């Protein structure tokens, strides 16, 4: 599925099951919460924090998908085509950082 198709599916789900979008401010708060859940898994699984029993079976993929869901909701609400925005963003980074990382001694 393309990003554009994913945005459409999220929009259709909201219209079918969700009644309406939460407002943008609420979705921003929800996004922050979802990113925190991803951070919790990363900190415990790959970082130095130990896992609590309730954290051991958390699905990182599912939590990342939750982040994508809310990002798509915000994009839909604000008229952003993420497919096009990502293409432009990759082009910007490619031009701006063409040699930057290759010349970074910290990455060698």
Alpha-carbon distance values, 79 to 31, 76, 91, 105 (Å): 18, 5, 21, 40
> What does the domain layout of the chain look like in residue ranges?
3-78
| pLDDT tens-digit series, residues 19-75 | 999 999 999 999 999 999 999 999 999 999 998 888 889 999 999 999 999 999 999
Here the tokens at position 66 are 């939750």
Q: Note the pLDDT of residue 108.
A: 87
| pLDDT tens-digit series, residues 65-101 | 999 999 999 999 999 999 999 999 999 999 999 999 9
Q: Note the pLDDT of residue 53.
A: 87
Q: How far apart are CA 2 and CA 23, in angstroms?
A: 25
The superfamily CATH assigns to domain 3-78 is MazG-like (1.10.287.1080)
Instruction: Decide: pTM greater than 0.75.
Output: yes
41-69 CB burial, b ≥16 within 10 A, e <16: beebeeeeeeeeeeeeeeeeeebeebbeb
Q: Note the pLDDT of residue 93.
A: 96
């Amino acid at each position: 599925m393309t990003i554009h198709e994913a945005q459409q599916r999220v929009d259709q789900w909201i219209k079918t099951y969700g009644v309406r979008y939460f407002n943008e401010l609420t979705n921003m708060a929800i996004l922050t919460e979802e990113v925190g859940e991803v951070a919790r898994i990363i900190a415990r699984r790959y970082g130095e924090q130990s896992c609590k029993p309730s954290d051991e079976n958390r699905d990182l993929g599912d939590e990342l998908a939750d982040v994508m869901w809310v990002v798509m909701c915000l994009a839909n609400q604000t008229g952003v085509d993420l497919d096009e925005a990502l293409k432009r963003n990759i082009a910007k980074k490619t031009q701006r950082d063409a040699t930057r990382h290759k010349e970074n001694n910290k990455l060698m």
